[in-house]
Amino acid sequence: MANDKSLPIKGKFYLIYQDDASNIILEDRTKRGLEVRERNYDDKYSVVADKGMIHDVDGIGHKVGIRWFFPESKYQITDVVKFAEEMEQRYKAIQEITCPDDTS
């Protein structure tokens, strides 16, 4: 891999690693343990993704991304890190609102 960052890369809310099929995988750590219900194309990142289901307080199910598979032929580590940092910032903003004492 011709990138300057070595894998795995861990953030508070994400993990980036490589699989055997030449994919760089971005995993949402907040979704760890969630059952994978489907693997299909994700419009947001334009890659294949594992998705699960979470239910809100009204019992309505929502499909959520668990991990995204970025092919090395199209994406570099820096591209995936950029997506991961955006995810990290979104979760930090939610954490500051919902748990202001836990933001460390």
Angle at alpha carbon of residue 43, lines to 42 and 49, rounded to 5°: 10
- 18, 7 in Cβ contact below 8 A? yes
In order along its 104 residues, the chain shows pLDDT tens digits of 344 456 899 999 999 999 988 999 999 999 999 999 999 999 999 999 999 999 999 999 999 999 999 999 999 999 999 999 999 999 999 999 998 777 55
Per-domain residue ranges of the chain: 9-102
Overall residue count recorded for the chain in this entry = 104
